[in-house]
């Protein structure tokens, strides 16, 4: 059930995602404001992630998911009627809360359902649903962009969270989902959560994988903020074509997750992490030099392979290095680092457009991924990693 809700929720997210920078600029924002608005989104997402576990402990994980899906529906409708860019800031805050509340809680439900020996495979299925949404969402956006303006597209996209909410309520009525009767929330437990999060982060291997995650998403934050604008203004691509390029990234992203998740259970975590990040670096570095649409699609596909392969291996690596009863908190760290990286990337993207051309910014941002790869040299090797080739 959690995989179904994850798929529908992220289809809604990725239907809007490729056109979001274009829509923000069309409403009246400058490139600097574009970076600022997307930084607001990711900044509030960080705050939401930090407290999502506490909210879930108080009202239950399933009710937290229902809350986030309802906010997604409200955000799409409010975006569609926003008269100017100033209104995008509060709407973006609501949208950030929606997205960030859903992610770590759904991941926690999936991780808790996975036995240790099959954790990589289960994570492959869970993230495979997200990867599938990265194909379906942009494909829907590409089709809609051929026939409707952005505001109408948002109204149509709002049917997705509405369907998700309806499915949730039907599942609740049929008792496929059981809500907790009593709350397990207490203030001492809340404080202990933050103490535990800090202690987990200070573990060497956890700190390193979080740094790798951060570096990847800084580069991705820059890319996803500026590439749609660059593609439209410099390459003269339509919103429909840009959405298809995102679908080209989403297709291999989705397909690679399940086999890589299972592969990491056999060969270890580090090799897939290194290879996947190297592919992502290569794609981001080369894309600004390309003009032909088929080459751009190929490089976006390579980017998708790198992105998809790194996710189940990184999640499993993190879970291998913490206690089983601390996986929920540890999974929140990955989401926090993802949004922190995207926040920094978006702000960096918006501010550097004042002094540098977009292709140069994209190339420079790709080297953040290299920093993450180099940090893996300092991983503390344990028995879990004895099957991996040594890093030299």
Residue 260 contacts by C-beta under 8 Å, 6 or more apart in sequence?
Answer: 124, 272, 276, 308, 309, 312, 313
Q: Are 361 and 229 in contact (CB under 8 A)?
A: no
Q: Report the predicted TM-score, pTM, of the whole model to 2 decimal places.
A: 0.81
Cα–Cα nearest to 67, from 51, 86, 88, 89: 51
Question: Hey, what are 31's tokens?
Answer: 């490139």
- Least confident window among 226-230, 296-300, 306-310: 306-310
101: pLDDT strictly greater than 60 = yes
Q: Are 57 and 156 in contact (CB under 8 A)?
A: no
74: pLDDT strictly greater than 50 = yes
- Least confident window among 21-25, 38-42, 43-47: 43-47
Give the model's confidence band at 135: pLDDT under 50 very low, under 70 low, under 90 confident, else very high: confident
- At 389 the pLDDT is 40
- At 258 the pLDDT is 75
41: pLDDT strictly greater than 60 = yes
- At 328 the pLDDT is 66
CA 270 to chain centre: 21
Question: Hey, what are 54's tokens?
Answer: 């506490």
CA 347 to chain centre: 17
From the candidate CATH numbers 3.90.1570.10, 1.20.1250.20, 3.40.50.300, 3.20.20.370, the one assigned to the domain spanning 2-176+189-385: 1.20.1250.20
Give the model's confidence band at 348: pLDDT under 50 very low, under 70 low, under 90 confident, else very high: very high
Helix (H, G, I), strand (E, B) or coil at 28: coil
Domain extent listing, the chain: 2-176+189-385
Cα-Cα-Cα-Cα torsion 79, 81, 83, 86, nearest 10 degrees, comes to -30
């Amino acid at each position: 059930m959690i995989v179904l809700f994850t798929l529908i929720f992220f289809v809604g997210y990725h239907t809007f995602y490729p056109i979001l920078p274009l829509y923000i600029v069309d409403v009246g924002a400058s490139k600097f404001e574009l970076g600022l608005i997307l930084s607001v989104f990711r900044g509030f997402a960080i705050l939401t992630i930090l407290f999502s576990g506490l909210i879930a402990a108080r009202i239950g994980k399933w009710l937290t998911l229902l809350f986030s899906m309802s906010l997604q529906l409200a955000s799409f409708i409010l975006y569609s009627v926003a008269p100017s860019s100033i209104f995008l800031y509060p709407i973006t805050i609501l949208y950030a809360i929606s997205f960030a509340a859903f992610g770590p809680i759904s991941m926690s439900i999936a991780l808790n359902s996975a036995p240790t020996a099959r954790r990589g495979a289960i994570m492959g299925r869970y993230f495979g649903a997200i990867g599938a949404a990265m194909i379906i969402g942009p494909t829907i956006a590409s089709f809609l962009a051929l026939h409707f303006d952005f505001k109408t597209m948002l109204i149509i996209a709002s049917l997705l969270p509405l369907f998700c909410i309806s499915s949730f309520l039907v599942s609740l009525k049929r008792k496929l989902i059981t809500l907790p009767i009593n709350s397990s929330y207490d203030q001492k437990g809340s404080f202990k959560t933050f103490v535990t999060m800090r202690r987990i982060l200070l573990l060497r291997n956890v700190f390193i994988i979080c740094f790798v995650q951060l570096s990847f998403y800084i580069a991705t934050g820059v890319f996803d903020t500026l590439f749609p604008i660059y593609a439209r203004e410099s390459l003269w691509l339509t919103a429909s074509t840009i959405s298809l390029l995102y679908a080209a990234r989403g297709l291999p992203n989705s397909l690679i997750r399940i086999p890589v998740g299972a592969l990491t259970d056999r060969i270890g975590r580090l090799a897939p992490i290194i290879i996947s990040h190297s592919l992502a670096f290569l794609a981001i570095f080369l894309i600004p030099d390309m003009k032909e649409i088929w080459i751009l699609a190929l490089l976006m596909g390579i980017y998708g392979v790198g992105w998809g392969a790194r996710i189940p291996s990184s999640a499993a690596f993190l879970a291998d290095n913490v206690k089983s009863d601390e996986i929920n908190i540890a999974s929140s760290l990955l989401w926090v680092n993802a949004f922190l990286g995207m926040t920094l990337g978006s702000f960096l993207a918006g501010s550097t457009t004042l002094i540098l051309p977009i292709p140069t910014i994209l190339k420079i941002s790709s080297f953040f991924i290299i920093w993450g790869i180099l940090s893996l040299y300092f991983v503390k090797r344990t028995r879990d990693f004895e099957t991996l080739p040594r890093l030299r």
